[in-house]
Amino acid sequence: MFKKLLSSIGVGGARVDTRLHADSFVPGGEVSGETHVVGGSDAQEFNRIYLSVSTRYKHDDSTHEHTLIEHDIAGRMQIGAGEERAVPFSFRLPFETPLSVGHQGVTVHTGLDISGAIDPGDADGIQVSPHPLQQAVLSAAQNLGFTLRQAENEYDPRKGAPLPFVQQLEFRPGGRYAGRLEELELVFKLRGDDALEVLVELDRRAGGIGGLLESALEMNERVSRLTVTRSDAERGAIEGMLAQLIDGHIR
């Protein structure tokens, strides 16, 4: 049964509906569904029907859109007057797809390529939930007393390659880290389904004259990389790994 109906596109009397099999997806996961084409009062021809998945990121004071993947549903197609046709599709989301948190969401755009006409289309948001390895790290952070404060897609081609941006997840410290850290920031980079690289940035709380000097010089920030695997998640080791990394930088 279809759980998600993307908005219809009407062009020249024909109607195109894209319907997804699920409401939520994970980075690297399969997106499947059907595109339904219903002819209008006259026969029509499409050069192609396609889907594109995109998101937005910030660069200085402007916002930019980036296409994560484009998937052709059908090539040249003729649809008769009143004819109905369903075209199944399936593709995988890139592992770099940002999660549906913060202000920058992920949208699926249904587009039509029609000769001599402006390419019509419609965009609808989808829910991108954490991959199991990402969820394991988020759960570990929560168990250590951290609370997600905000998430932003920020321009950073060096950290984000092959994307021009990274999704930065910023956490407020609590528990044993309250008063010892200003902020914890995580950036996820999935290396397939079995490994996740986490860029961990710690902003230490300034203390005393030395701490104030460090803060003024931005020396109180520490950046490390943590690699977790499916095996680490299965044996419940990620919380300890994250705590060990943090403790090593704030002693």
Count Cβ atoms below 10 Å from residue 191 Cβ, excluding itself. Answer: 12
pLDDT value of residue 2: 45
Query: Tokens 């995109």 — which residue?
Result: 54
Residue ending a domain, choose from 128, 153, 179 = 128
Q: What angle do CA 223, 104, 26 make, to 5 degrees?
A: 80
Residue ending a domain, choose from 128, 144, 165 = 128
In three-state secondary structure terms, 104 is coil
pLDDT digits (tens, 9 = 90+) for 211-236: 444 444 444 457 889 999 999 999 99
Task: Indicate if the pLDDT at residue 209 is higher than 90.
Answer: no
Residue ending a domain, choose from 128, 162, 194 = 128
pLDDT value of residue 249: 81
Same domain, 11 and 123: yes
The two structure tokens encoding residue 189: 């980079």
* Number of structural domains the chain divides into: 2
Residue with more model confidence, 9 or 58 = 58
Asked if 205 contacts 182 with a C-beta cutoff of 8 angstroms, the reply is yes
pLDDT digits (tens, 9 = 90+) for 125-179: 899 999 999 999 999 999 999 999 999 999 999 888 889 999 999 999 999 999 8
Same domain, 62 and 176: no
CA distance 4 to 34: 11
Same domain, 97 and 136: no
CA distance 69 to 212: 45
Domain span including residue 203: 132-250
